[in-house]
């Protein structure tokens, strides 16, 4: 969702930073979140100076080049993803109030903005945009002059008491050079600590070029930063504290590293992402030691049902987890789309474990579903890639993946890291419950330890599937089939193609083919088939081979992902890509990769920006 940066610095530093440079660089780091306009406001020469422009950040930079801003030590910057009001110069942030003396930026949705706007209009206020943000700015400006006696922090406390919804608000005022005030409710915000300068960001990417010291901000908190201080309170003004942490990756980790896109780089990062997620999780005897979990082993051993909550790609990771956890632990697992879960009165209790999966840890649908589950008494565990984010903080336990920053909107390495984390959770539960012998767990962990090298083998042969993708750049539709753990892989393969190539793509359970989807097959229709291993599941393998024959007989072009050594599929496929042998339940960590490569190359061949696909944001922080 929207990218937010705030900065308060001083020219007394040995190396002083112009606020504008900090803001632009921070917004550039946050471009991966998705946006349709950008803007900045700085405090200089006793006034607010603002520039904003629809489109990419380059448009804003061109605007500033034509109408330069004065040097400043204080400012706020924003990349907007349109909610209230379409993408336009007028709807872009910042929005001004108090006669142009105050500037505000905002991430989220103010649900009661219409009533507040009507009240302000009745008092004589006029509005230049269609946004809820301008309403919040006007309210803050009014309270600043009428009730807060010129205290910007107090005015923010009074304003948020009136607002409903999900929001992060940042404001500056010309009366207070060197001060940025921010408020956070149900929307991400992190504080960055520097030497003679302090920062605010939607996530740490917004200030990683300048500091690795960061502070988690809690729900319903207000923070006021100056170059040398930061003060945190709750919405009522009572003193509060955040949790300081150190960012363990640097700016170079967010660069493309010679690849044509972040997405391509992140696909090639996957051996390290899986390896790092496995690192340090077990002892020399193969016993899992998940030190991040804050639920006691005794409580976990009593769990009678698991519900996985997630959206999009993360939901497909949960679907893979269902097969593994039920097999290893004999616990029933349900996979729920977060945005549907709490609206159907789900049955959960104190013996239910809610496992939420979110790369950002800020997915609003998932956050609200977790809160609902906690209210029903369920235990909650978060699988997340972002330290300090909201969902793991509000969950009873957290299991962090260690994929590093994922910049491209379409998830790749986070997906494999999420699957890896769910495997660790399943094995840990099996260890606690005694469902598997310790030797079995050790063997599975050993197989997991071989996965990074096997992924690398696939990547080293990636040109095989990339060349196919380039030849298929003009196809209007691609279908994907899979069985067992291959079914969620098929759905994820289709989603990737939809997200970045903008063509019709669907993933089906192969057994459903004769129940309707086979009607879609026509001459030259491309169909990817994820084939299960012929080892140990002969009947399932033979059924999928039959599915290949069925669609091919009706004119389909069949593209097969199969295990090395599986010669039975060659006779029925136009193209076969082999992945290394691995146990069936672990196979999604391999079979997903060629589908990622295919989607990335096909979209690139069509000339699309694979890192920032249209209409999509990296983190969906509104419902």
Strand partners of residue 165: 110
How many Cβ atoms from other residues are within 10 Å of residue 243's Cβ?
11
How many Cβ atoms from other residues are within 10 Å of residue 493's Cβ?
29
* Nearest alpha-carbon partner for 507 in 484, 523, 527: 527
**Token digits for 513?**
């083919």
- Judge whether 288 and 428 are in contact, CB under 8 Å: yes
Task: DSSP letter for 70, please.
Answer: P
How many Cβ atoms from other residues are within 10 Å of residue 127's Cβ?
15
- Judge whether 7 and 105 are in contact, CB under 8 Å: no
Write down the residue that tokens 């051996």 correspond to.
Answer: 271
**Token digits for 302?**
């009593």
CB-based contacts of 64: which residues, under 8 Å, 6+ apart?
Answer: 20, 40, 51
Asked about 618 being catalytic, the answer comes back as yes
Helix (H, G, I), strand (E, B) or coil at 215: strand
Cα torsion angle, 161, 167, 168, 171, sign = negative
- Consecutive H or E run containing 4: strand 3-9
**Token digits for 186?**
């149900």
How many angstroms from the chain centroid is the CA of residue 267? Answer: 16
- For residues 125 and 99, give the distance between their C-alpha atoms in angstroms, rounded to a whole number: 10
Crossing angle of helices 588-605 and 438-460, rounded to 10°: 20
CA distances from 520 to 62, 502, 602 (A): 48, 19, 22
Per DSSP, the residues of 545-594 read HHHHHHHHHTT-EEEEEEETT-GGGGGG-SEEEEE----GGGTHHHHHHH
Cis before residue 94, ω within 30 degrees of 0?
yes
Asked about 302 being catalytic, the answer comes back as no
**Token digits for 198?**
């302090």
Q: Give, rounded to a whole angstrom, the gap between the first and last alpha carbons of the chain.
A: 11
- For residues 204 and 26, give the distance between their C-alpha atoms in angstroms, rounded to a whole number: 9
CB-based contacts of 103: which residues, under 8 Å, 6+ apart?
Answer: 41, 48, 50, 76, 94, 95, 96, 97, 137, 171, 172, 173
Helix (H, G, I), strand (E, B) or coil at 387: coil
* Nearest alpha-carbon partner for 611 in 56, 7, 20: 56
**Token digits for 91?**
């709807």
Q: Which residue in the list 2, 329, 384, 600 is annotated as catalytic?
A: 2
Per DSSP, the residues of 76-129 read EEEEE--SSS-SSTTTSSPEEETTTTEEEEEEEEETTHHHHHHHHHHTT---SS
- For residues 239 and 218, give the distance between their C-alpha atoms in angstroms, rounded to a whole number: 12
How many angstroms from the chain centroid is the CA of residue 406? Answer: 8
Helix (H, G, I), strand (E, B) or coil at 232: strand
CA distances from 574 to 133, 471, 527, 549, 610 (A): 54, 13, 10, 12, 27
- Show which residues are catalytic: 2, 618
């Amino acid at each position: 969702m929207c990218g937010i940066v705030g900065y308060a610095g001083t020219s007394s530093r040995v190396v002083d930073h112009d606020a504008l440079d900090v803001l632009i660089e921070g917004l550039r780091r946050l471009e991966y979140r998705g946006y349709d306009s950008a803007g900045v406001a700085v405090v200089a020469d006793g006034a607010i100076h603002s520039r904003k422009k629809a489109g990419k950040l380059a448009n804003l930079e061109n605007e500033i080049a034509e109408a330069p801003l004065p040097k400043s030590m204080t400012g706020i910057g924003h990349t907007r993803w349109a909610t209230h009001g379409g993408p336009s110069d007028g709807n872009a942030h910042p929005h001004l109030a108090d006669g142009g003396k105050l500037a505000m930026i905002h991430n989220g949705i103010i649900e009661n903005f219409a009533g507040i706007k009507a009240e302000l209009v009745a008092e004589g206020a006029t509005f230049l945009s269609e946004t809820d943000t301008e309403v919040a700015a006007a309210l803050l400006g009014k309270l600043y002059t009428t009730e807060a006696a010129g205290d910007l922090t107090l005015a923010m406390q009074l304003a948020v008491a009136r607002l409903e919804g999900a929001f992060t608000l940042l404001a500056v005022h010309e009366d207070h050079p060197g001060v940025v005030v921010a408020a956070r409710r149900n929307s991400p915000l992190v504080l960055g600590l520097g030497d003679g300068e302090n920062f605010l960001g939607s996530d740490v990417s917004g200030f990683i070029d300048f500091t690795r010291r960061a502070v988690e901000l809690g729900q319903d908190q207000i923070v006021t930063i100056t170059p040398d201080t930061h003060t945190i309170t709750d919405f009522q003004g009572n003193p509060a504290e955040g949790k300081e942490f150190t960012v363990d990756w640097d700016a170079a980790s967010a660069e493309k590293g010679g690849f044509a896109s972040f997405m391509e780089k992140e696909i090639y990062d996957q051996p390290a992402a899986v390896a790092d997620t496995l690192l340090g999780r077990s002892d020399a005897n193969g016993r899992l030691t998940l030190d991040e979990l804050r639920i006691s082993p005794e409580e976990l051993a009593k769990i009678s049902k698991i519900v996985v909550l997630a959206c999009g790609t993360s939901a497909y990771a949960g679907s893979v987890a269902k097969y593994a956890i039920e097999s290893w632990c004999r616990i029933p697992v349900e996979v729920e789309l977060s945005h549907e879960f709490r609206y159907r009165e789900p049955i959960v209790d104190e013996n239910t474990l809610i496992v939420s999966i979110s790369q950002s840890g800020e997915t609003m649908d998932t956050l609200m579903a977790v809160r609902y589950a906690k209210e029903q008494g369920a235990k909650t565990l978060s699988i997340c890639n972002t330290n300090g984010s909201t969902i793991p903080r509000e969950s009873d336990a957290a299991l962090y993946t260690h994929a590093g920053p994922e910049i491209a909107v379409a998830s790749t390495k986070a997906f494999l890291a999420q699957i890896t984390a769910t495997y660790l959770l399943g094995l840990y539960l099996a260890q606690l419950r005694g469902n598997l012998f310790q030797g079995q767990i050790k063997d599975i962990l050993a197989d997991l330890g071989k996965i990074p090298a096997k992924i690398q083998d696939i990547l080293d042969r990636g040109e095989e599937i990339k060349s196919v993708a380039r030849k298929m750049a003009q196809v209007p539709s691609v279908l994907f089939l899979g069985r067992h753990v291959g079914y969620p892989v098929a759905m994820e393969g289709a989603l990737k193609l939809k997200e970045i190539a903008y063509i019709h793509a669907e993933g089906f359970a192969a057994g459903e083919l004769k129940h309707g989807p086979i009607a879609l097959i026509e001459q030259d229709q491309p169909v990817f088939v994820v084939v299960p291993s012929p080892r140990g599941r002969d009947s399932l393998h033979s059924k999928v081979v039959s599915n290949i024959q069925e669609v091919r007989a009706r004119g389909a072009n069949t593209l097969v992902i199969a295990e090395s050594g599986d010669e039975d599929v060659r006779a029925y496929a136009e193209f076969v890509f082999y992945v290394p042998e691995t146990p069936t339940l672990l196979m999604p960590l391999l079979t997903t990769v060629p589908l990622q490569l295919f989607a990335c190359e096909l979209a690139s061949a069509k000339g699309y920006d694979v890192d920032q696909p249209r209409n999509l944001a990296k983190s969906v922080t509104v419902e």
